[in-house]
Structure 1
Amino acid sequence: MENQKIGFIGGGNMTAAIISGVVKNQTFPADQIYVYDIHKEKRESLHRKAGILAVDSACDLVKTCSIVFLAVKPQSFPPMLDEIRPVVEKGKTLVSIAAGISSSSIVSALSCDCPVIRAMPNTPLTLGKGATAVCRTGNVADETYHLVLKLFSSCGMVSQIEESQMNAVIAVNGSSPAYIYLFAKAVLESAEQQGIQPSVSLPLFCQTLIGSAEMLLKSGDTPDELIRKVSSRGGTTVAALDVLEKNHFEQTIDKAMRACTARAEELGK
């Protein structure tokens, strides 16, 4: 670790979340973490809040760091890769958190067979409750890979998958917080229309989400078995489930997830 320096190109919310978790948990020394963002105020804000080092260009960061997180939006990848191409060497490990951008396309754009790790985190990283899916190319050193896994683990849990699954997994953990928030919004609005204020319904519903997640993880029951345990014939839960089934709830979720995957594939072209 003494010889490693970590850098982030892009100082947005995900970068801030990762750095916050890493520094808070003392997973990696703050004075060995660098950041560059085209917006000076963002990199200076991260410097002030986390004690990391801000640099004035993406190329300076790549020259300095052995592990470089590529934390810009997919649409910004081509110009960013063009900018850093002259200074990327085989010894640099690149960590991409961009949706849809394959490791082979990164290597091709840089004209360098550098090691690449792809990661799909989600926004609950900001609370240390993230869920990150990770894969790597064959030339990533084990020591480096385990360090990157440790960095993400300091912000939540990590699952290792194959790169062929990276686009599809976005719908599972990357984008799925938005589906849950939409579901919560609908529940809260319906509750309010029925006379229950958000100050009451929000904590009740959030605790129900937490408890239900724990049941899924720890009960040993399948989702279908858990549904049956909540449902009584002719009861209130069945009345609600009947409406969801008639409105093709499961098929709608499947269509939404497939649309998410398709968009990831488009972004990678």
Structure 2
Amino acid sequence: MEFQKVGFIGGGNMTSAIVCGVVQANTFPADHIYVFDIHQEKRENLHRKAGVLTVNSALDLVRTCDIIFLAVKPQSFPEMLSEIRPAVNETKTLVSIAAGISSESITGALACSCPVIRAMPNTPLLLGKGATAVCRTRNVTDLAYQLVLNLFSSCGIVSQIVESQMDAVISVNGSSPAYIYLFAKAVIESAQKQGIEPGISLPLFCQTLEGSAKMLLDSGNTPDELIRKVSSKGGTTIAALDVLKKSQFEKVIDAAMKACTERAIELGK
């Protein structure tokens, strides 16, 4: 990999997950990574944790770096794009990880046909278990695109999609860790009510989640087939599944995912 200079505008949780994950995987040198955040303590924290370099403004970062990750909240995009506009040109590749912000709206605000990659990562990147959806738009060079793919794949899996899928994919991998944490919280709290302390239920359930995910990926069975393999007529699993079905569990998940997508679309307006 050719080590270009990579910058991150925004030093929040996602930047921390990406930067720390990449540095821990030893796939990209920390002294080629730059971070700017309006909060100095966030910049200093990432410097301490990952050894990356910091700058004092978003404009300085864009002037310094070849590939720039736009990692601020969608609501902050107009102000941020206005600030960096003087330094952006066709040689700079922008990587947006913001929900709902299209590549066209980015290049339009910058009045520049600069290359834009959109990505939707998730926080398990920090542990090398991330899942990132990536979309390549026009003008992106093979070198820049491969570097971005390498960054994300060094700490998880990468799926390449088209831009029209970006809003919906957030509900699949971007926001879904929170659904899983909520599910785990409910299981652990129910177990505690039944006399099983979290010190026992948490590792048991986490291993069950990991094993079940592995079964989904590697067994060759569909989700319905795997459910049947766990269920026996008149057994305990059927009793639990009956409650979930009566509560319209699948419809609730569908509604939650649609709400996630709709919010992404709203953020892009």
TM-score above 0.5, yes or no: yes
Q: Which residue of 2 aligns with 1:46?
A: 46
Query: Is the Cα–Cα contact under 8 Å of residues 216 and 223 in structure 2 kept in the other structure?
Result: yes
Distance 2:49 2:233 in 1: 55
Q: Which secondary structure state, in structure 2, belongs to the residue aligned with residue 106 of structure 1?
A: helix
Alignment of 1:144-155 (within 5 A): 144-155=144-155
Bigger shift: residues 39-48 or 171-180 = 39-48
Q: Which residue of 2 aligns with 1:215?
A: 215
Q: Which residue of 2 aligns with 1:167?
A: 167
TM norm structure 1:
0.97
Alpha-carbon offset, residue 206 of structure 1: 0.6
Letter in 2 for 1:152: F
Q: Percent identity?
A: 77
Query: Is the Cα–Cα contact under 8 Å of residues 3 and 32 in structure 2 kept in the other structure?
Result: no
| Superimposed CA distance per residue, residues 34-87 of structure 1 (whole angstroms, 9 cap, x where no aligned partner) | 111101111122223222211111001101111000011111111101111111
Q: Which residue of 2 aligns with 1:98?
A: 98
Listed as ranges, the gaps of 5+ residues in structure 1 are none
TM norm structure 2:
0.97
Alpha-carbon offset, residue 25 of structure 1: 2.0
Distance 1:190 1:49 in 2: 37
1:194 aligns with 2:182: no
Q: Which secondary structure state, in structure 2, belongs to the residue aligned with residue 68 of structure 1?
A: strand
Q: Which residue of 2 aligns with 1:56?
A: 56
Distance 2:260 2:3 in 1: 39
Letter in 2 for 1:29: P
Alignment of 1:1-20 (within 5 A): 4-20=4-20
Alignment of 1:94-173 (within 5 A): 94-173=94-173
CA distance change for structure 1 residues 218 and 239 in 2, over 3 Å: closer, same or farther?
same
Distance 2:49 2:187 in 1: 36
1:254 aligns with 2:268: no
1:77 aligns with 2:87: no
Q: Which residue of 2 aligns with 1:203?
A: 203
Q: Which residue of 2 aligns with 1:183?
A: 183
Bigger shift: residues 55-64 or 27-36 = 27-36
Distance 1:167 1:187 in 2: 30
Alpha-carbon offset, residue 249 of structure 1: 0.5
Distance 1:185 1:4 in 2: 42
Letter in 2 for 1:159: S
Distance 1:96 1:73 in 2: 10
Q: Which residue of 1 aligns with 2:29?
A: 29
Distance 1:3 1:128 in 2: 21
Letter in 2 for 1:165: Q
Distance 1:134 1:6 in 2: 17
Superposed structure 1 runs of 4+ greater than 4 Å apart: none
Query: Is the Cα–Cα contact under 8 Å of residues 3 and 28 in structure 2 kept in the other structure?
Result: no
Query: Is the Cα–Cα contact under 8 Å of residues 97 and 120 in structure 2 kept in the other structure?
Result: yes
Letter in 2 for 1:168: A
Distance 2:79 2:44 in 1: 23
Distance 2:230 2:2 in 1: 53
Distance 1:4 1:11 in 2: 20
| Superimposed CA distance per residue, residues 95-127 of structure 1 (whole angstroms, 9 cap, x where no aligned partner) | 011111111111111110010001101111121
Alpha-carbon offset, residue 3 of structure 1: 6.4
Distance 1:26 1:186 in 2: 37
Query: Matched residue pairs, number?
Result: 269
CA distance change for structure 1 residues 209 and 3 in 2, over 3 Å: closer, same or farther?
closer
